[in-house]
Amino acid sequence: QVQLMESGGGLVQPGGSLRLSCAASKSSTNSRGWYRQAPGKERELVARITISGSTYYADSVKGRFTISRDNAKNAVYLQMNILKPDDTAVYYCYENLGFRAVWGQGTLVTVSS
């Protein structure tokens, strides 16, 4: 089974940027992406990308976040710009296996002044 590990979270001021990385233990043709879960809220899909590079973004992050994928490095990235306090959450990398998903352990992003 593939293992996913996120990195790149941290504390950033409103309007700032962060880049999250997700390293996968092996290659895959499955879709990969990012979910997030804020305190007291349900986990929500942020962005996903297919093996061919097709992308989907939640309305709340369109125009601010960019997902990318480096298949040679088995990595997925999330560039987050113009961050807002509402973006504060634990961000999880995932891979869609079809019948279920595989998750990373999460990385915390805190947007605060």
φ/ψ (deg, to 5) at 15: 90, -10
Mean pLDDT in runs of 10 for the chain (113 residues)? 95 98 95 96 97 97 97 96 98 94 96 97
- Nearest to 49, CA basis, from 78, 92, 72, 20: 78
- Nearest to 71, CA basis, from 7, 8, 22, 10: 22
Q: Which two tokens stand for residue 12?
A: 């950033």
> How remote is the C-alpha of 11 from its chain's centroid?
16
pLDDT of residue 23: 97
pLDDT of residue 1: 87
Q: Which two tokens stand for residue 27?
A: 């290659």
